[in-house]
Amino acid sequence: MVSTLGQLFLSGAFIASIAAMISYAISVVKDDIKIEKISHYLWYAKGTFLLISSVALIWLIMTHQFQYYYVWNYTSLDLETQYLFSAFYGGQEGSFMLWILCSFVVGLGLIKWTRKPYKGPVMFVMTLTQFFLLSMVVGWDLNFTQIGATPFRTIAQEMPNAPFIQANPDFVPADGSGLNDLLKSPWMMIHPPIIFVGFAMMTVPFAFAIASLWTKTYHEWIRPALPWTLAANLSLLTAIFLGGYWAYETLSFGGYWAWDPVENASLVPWLIGTAGIHAMIIQRKSSRAHKASLFFAILAYVSIVYQTFLTRSGVLADQSVHSFVDLGLYGQLLMFISVMALMGIGFYLYRYRELPSPEKESKFLSKEFMTFTGSMLLFILGVVIIFGTSSPIIGRLFVENPTPPEIQFYNDWSMPIAIIMAIATVIGQHLFWQKHSWESLAGKLVTPLLLTSIAAVLSIILGEVRNVYYMLFIFAAWFTVMGNASVLFSLIRKNPKLTGGSLTHVGFGALLLGVIASSVYTEPLLDQRTSSYNARVVAGEVYDEEGFPITQPIEMFQLDINKPKLINNKYMVTYEGYEVADSPRPGQQTYRIKFEPIDGSRTFYMDPEVYPMLTTSSMDNIDWSVDPHVRTGWFSDIYLYVAGSRYVERKNQELEREKRSRSLVPVADEEEEIQTIEIQQGETIEAGPFTFTFQSFVPAQPEHLPENTQIGIRSLIRVAHAASGNAYEVEPLFAVYTENEQSYTYSPPLMIENWGMSISFSRIHPETDSIELTIDGLDLNYEEDWILIVAEKKPFVSVVWLGTFLLMAGFSISIMRHWSREKNTEEKR
């Protein structure tokens, strides 16, 4: 019922978007304000319908209607409410719906604030994009072809040929397959909405650019478009930051950025959008660069659609760990990107000759030239990254079966571009507020250069930088910070509202510093043996059994329980044990690792976790996943995870045993592990690596005893493991009771979880004054607990975040400034 309603309104939204699109087009062509009004109502209808449809989907998720494929696939009964809600946009279909909802809200803003002559054409472009996005989820089956994949399809519709569906078409699974554990993070809840707000807002400059080409008004459009573009960029930046932060805290690749295709795909629209902002600012201030503003405004959105195509069509399936599953939307997505690119770029080329061009060229030393350089560099960097990311497509021109490019490709290009950008920002910012000759500029830059030199030299000496290229990079980055900071200080005195630009550029400099420090100067934390082994590997002195030199260093080390090791000559590190808990993730182990800095500073603990990933584990195989611990500091972070542990190894062995015992061919059983020992009070008996001490009898509380008990007593037993010094005390119960005039004994086993051992008090021997203990799971080859650690020290990750925050703050200030200026002009009219 709810699902039918949801599907009905989804179809309604699709039809409304088509109607709105046609109606807006007519309103523009006929220049009819009445039709435009009707179109607005169609836009509201579209949004409302989709909202109802989304509520229906959320309802299905909240009420666990697992007969629906989407609900089954992304949720489960045990999922917390907030994750149930975020599961709405956890899959492909729902995330399209969220994108459309965000666009709807943006459209409301556009309807309210946009003036003539742009309103109609802008809204036409918005509805066009809505038409394509809705077509991805509407799920209409038109005999010859299928349009989109609806989130309201049932499992039977999704897999009509599956045997259990053939056997029982009304099959409803008891539980869903659940949300991937890695995604159960508050960061991941807010990341998608922010990204889609950014996508939706980035449609606005595109729509304005098309509207400008349509109405042949090339000057005015940037005024309303600029605040939207800035806001879109702020959203995308925030989303990229959240994604990077999540990856750093959650995943085991050990960083916030990996040039992964999906990450790149989010970076490129941001770069091109930023290029567009620069071009628009020149156009505002100097009435130049009309062509560039239009071009970048179009391209920023096209790159968003292109990245959507790359990540959602299955093209990148082989290359990225987190691309979406192919829903068979390849054709529709291809159509979307083709129409957007053809419409944008085609229209641009069609009008190209009419576009205003400057009468005379800008001087080299002018704000126009410098800002334009910045814009071009951002664009070039975007192109380079698109190239690399598109390797499954473009690579075919070069080789068959292309692999992704090496990471080096991205670094080789981004570093020199960043260096030139860094210098251009300083010159550009100084020129932006004041005209300068070479002499006067040099005069302004004396102090920043002096400070830059001091800071750069200090960083190079303290950071032991040997590479000349990196020295240059560090110098350029410091120059960006100092040079733009000097502009910032003079602006703060004049008018703090103008500081947006200089603040972003200081942030950019800080970001560069943080990136180089945290990526190039990350050092693995290792014990002395491993690091001297690695030094020998580097020197080519280590050979494998066949006499070939070993080239791969070891980047992890083992810790035995309670045995401190000296790590990097800095810390005494001790593994103190682990705890198993069922919350928040069933079966998760928290390992406790003590760090004692040998310089006497304060001791701290790290608590990385390992847990079974339930969504991908089966009866035969547990898929263990690590949750690293990151200890953030002002100067450096310590990143650490447990790469292996005795607990995990044992669990795997147990599973292996169970699997074999379940299989049809009986395997010779492991030796019986049940042992009995007879022990007197006060006596200590050794069994393998363990000692058992019977300390005393303890009275048993009546409520723990069965009915008609004649004797009920507990014994206090201390079990110790000498090698590790661990010991547990247990009080197993022994009782004799009568039932139907028969005597029975009752001796429930008690479990020592960490040793996989259970102890029961099975008999009393009054004649020898001793008791009998039955011990199950006594492992005579018991070894001490150990873990394998992968740890890294990453300097100045804090500065990466600082740079990002400064960028965000700068963007926010600019948004407010341009927005209030835009509002003022509106009021004046």
Partner 1 sequence: MKPKLIIGIVSIVLFTSLLMYNFGNSISSYVNFEQAADRANSHVIGTWDNTQDYGFSRETMQFSFHMKDQDGNVRRVVYPRPKPNNFEQATQLVVVGELRNNVFHANDMLMKCPSKYNDGSELVNAQES
| 619 in contact with partner 1 (CB under 8 A) | yes
Q: Which of 165, 365, 460, 687 binds partner 1 (CB under 8 A)?
A: 165
* SS3 of residue 95 by DSSP: helix
Let me know the angle formed at the C-alpha of 10 by 99 and 42, rounded to the nearest 5 degrees: 80
- Which stretch in 225-233, 347-355, 393-401, 815-823 sits in contact with partner 1 by CB under 8 A? 393-401
Taking CA atoms, 325 is separated from 181, 310, 390, 463, 706, in Å, by: 18, 11, 18, 44, 57
* All residues at 6 or more sequence positions from 122 whose CB lies less than 8 Å from its CB, including other chains: 110, 114, 204, 207, 208, 210, 211
When the beta carbons of 558 and 590 are compared against partner 1, the nearer one is 558
Site string for partner 1, 491-530 (x = CB under 8 A): ----------------------------------------
* SS3 of residue 86 by DSSP: helix
- Report the C-alpha gap between 525 and 253 in whole angstroms: 15
- Which stretch in 215-223, 330-338, 398-406, 515-523 sits in contact with partner 1 by CB under 8 A? 398-406
- Which stretch in 209-217, 622-630, 684-692, 716-724 sits in contact with partner 1 by CB under 8 A? 622-630
- Report the C-alpha gap between 52 and 819 in whole angstroms: 32
With left for phi above 0 and alpha for psi between -120 and 50, is residue 769 left, alpha or beta? left
| 398 in contact with partner 1 (CB under 8 A) | yes
| Stretch 55-84 residues interacting with partner 1 (CB under 8 A) | 72-73
Q: Which of 624, 647, 761, 782 binds partner 1 (CB under 8 A)?
A: 624
**In the complex, minimum distance from the CB of residue 147 to partner 1, in angstroms, rounded to a whole number:** 19
| Stretch 400-419 residues interacting with partner 1 (CB under 8 A) | 400-406, 408-409, 412-413
* SS3 of residue 73 by DSSP: helix
- Report the C-alpha gap between 492 and 338 in whole angstroms: 46
When the beta carbons of 180 and 695 are compared against partner 1, the nearer one is 180
CA 503 remoteness from chain centre: 27
When the beta carbons of 64 and 284 are compared against partner 1, the nearer one is 64
Amino acid at 336: F
Task: Supply the DSSP symbol for 346.
Answer: I
Give the DSSP per-residue string, 187-247.
HHHHHHHHHHHHHHHHHHHHHHHHHHHHHT--STTHHHHHHHHHHHHHHHHHHHHHHHHHH
With left for phi above 0 and alpha for psi between -120 and 50, is residue 740 left, alpha or beta? left
Q: Which of 31, 78, 175, 826 binds partner 1 (CB under 8 A)?
A: 175
Task: Supply the DSSP symbol for 75.
Answer: -
**In the complex, minimum distance from the CB of residue 352 to partner 1, in angstroms, rounded to a whole number:** 15
| 438 in contact with partner 1 (CB under 8 A) | no
Q: Which of 551, 569, 583, 781 binds partner 1 (CB under 8 A)?
A: 551
| 538 in contact with partner 1 (CB under 8 A) | no
Q: Which of 8, 67, 286, 395 binds partner 1 (CB under 8 A)?
A: 395
- Report the C-alpha gap between 608 and 582 in whole angstroms: 15
Give the DSSP per-residue string, 13-67.
HHHHHHHHHHHHHHHHHHT-HHHHHHHHHHHHHHHHHHHHHHHHHHHHHHTT-TT
Amino acid at 95: S
Q: Which of 53, 235, 625, 726 binds partner 1 (CB under 8 A)?
A: 625
| 259 in contact with partner 1 (CB under 8 A) | no
Q: Which of 143, 618, 781, 824 binds partner 1 (CB under 8 A)?
A: 618
**In the complex, minimum distance from the CB of residue 554 to partner 1, in angstroms, rounded to a whole number:** 5
Short-list 630, 581, 632, CA closest to 607: 630
| 553 in contact with partner 1 (CB under 8 A) | yes
- Which stretch in 117-125, 517-525, 611-619, 734-742 sits in contact with partner 1 by CB under 8 A? 611-619
Q: Please report, in angstroms and rounded to a whole number, the separation of the first and last CA atoms in the chain.
A: 51
- Report the C-alpha gap between 75 and 615 in whole angstroms: 10
What Rg value do the Cα atoms of the chain yield, rounded? 33
Q: Which of 375, 391, 504, 724 binds partner 1 (CB under 8 A)?
A: 391
- Report the C-alpha gap between 170 and 176 in whole angstroms: 16
| 663 in contact with partner 1 (CB under 8 A) | no
**In the complex, minimum distance from the CB of residue 657 to partner 1, in angstroms, rounded to a whole number:** 15
- Adjacent-strand bridge partners of 580: 589
Site string for partner 1, 122-161 (x = CB under 8 A): ---------------------------------x---x--
Two tokens, residue 189: 């809840």
Site string for partner 1, 2-31 (x = CB under 8 A): ------------------------------
Q: Which of 2, 449, 451, 613 binds partner 1 (CB under 8 A)?
A: 613
- Adjacent-strand bridge partners of 68: 154
Q: Residue with structure tokens 């190239």?
A: 387
| Stretch 310-339 residues interacting with partner 1 (CB under 8 A) | 317-318, 321, 325
- Which stretch in 344-352, 394-402, 503-511, 575-583 sits in contact with partner 1 by CB under 8 A? 394-402
Q: Is the peptide bond before 117 cis (omega within 30 degrees of 0)?
A: yes
When the beta carbons of 55 and 345 are compared against partner 1, the nearer one is 345
When the beta carbons of 321 and 674 are compared against partner 1, the nearer one is 321
- Which stretch in 39-47, 198-206, 620-628, 659-667 sits in contact with partner 1 by CB under 8 A? 620-628
Site string for partner 1, 691-730 (x = CB under 8 A): ----------------------------------------
| 608 in contact with partner 1 (CB under 8 A) | no
When the beta carbons of 420 and 471 are compared against partner 1, the nearer one is 420
**In the complex, minimum distance from the CB of residue 248 to partner 1, in angstroms, rounded to a whole number:** 18
Query: Is-contact 54 97, C-beta < 8 A?
Result: yes
Query: Is-contact 39 23, C-beta < 8 A?
Result: yes
Burial class (CB in 10 A: 0-12, 13-18, 19+), 341: middle
When the beta carbons of 163 and 766 are compared against partner 1, the nearer one is 163
CA 732 remoteness from chain centre: 48
- Which stretch in 475-483, 548-556, 565-573, 627-635 sits in contact with partner 1 by CB under 8 A? 548-556
- Report the C-alpha gap between 228 and 202 in whole angstroms: 7
When the beta carbons of 546 and 669 are compared against partner 1, the nearer one is 546
* SS3 of residue 488 by DSSP: helix
**In the complex, minimum distance from the CB of residue 77 to partner 1, in angstroms, rounded to a whole number:** 11
- Report the C-alpha gap between 754 and 784 in whole angstroms: 11
**In the complex, minimum distance from the CB of residue 181 to partner 1, in angstroms, rounded to a whole number:** 11
Taking CA atoms, 491 is separated from 89, 499, 507, 514, 815, in Å, by: 43, 6, 16, 25, 17
- Report the C-alpha gap between 442 and 272 in whole angstroms: 31
Q: Which of 31, 78, 141, 361 binds partner 1 (CB under 8 A)?
A: 361
When the beta carbons of 148 and 803 are compared against partner 1, the nearer one is 148
Q: Which of 169, 173, 496, 584 binds partner 1 (CB under 8 A)?
A: 173
Instruction: Give the number of other Cβ atoms within 10 Å of residue 103's Cβ.
Output: 26
When the beta carbons of 156 and 806 are compared against partner 1, the nearer one is 156
| 387 in contact with partner 1 (CB under 8 A) | yes
| Interface with partner 1 (CB under 8 A) | 72-73, 155, 159, 162-165, 173-175, 177, 317-318, 321, 325, 361, 380, 383-384, 387-388, 391, 394-395, 398-406, 408-409, 412-413, 546, 548, 551-556, 558, 613, 616, 618-619, 621, 623-625, 643-644, 788, 790
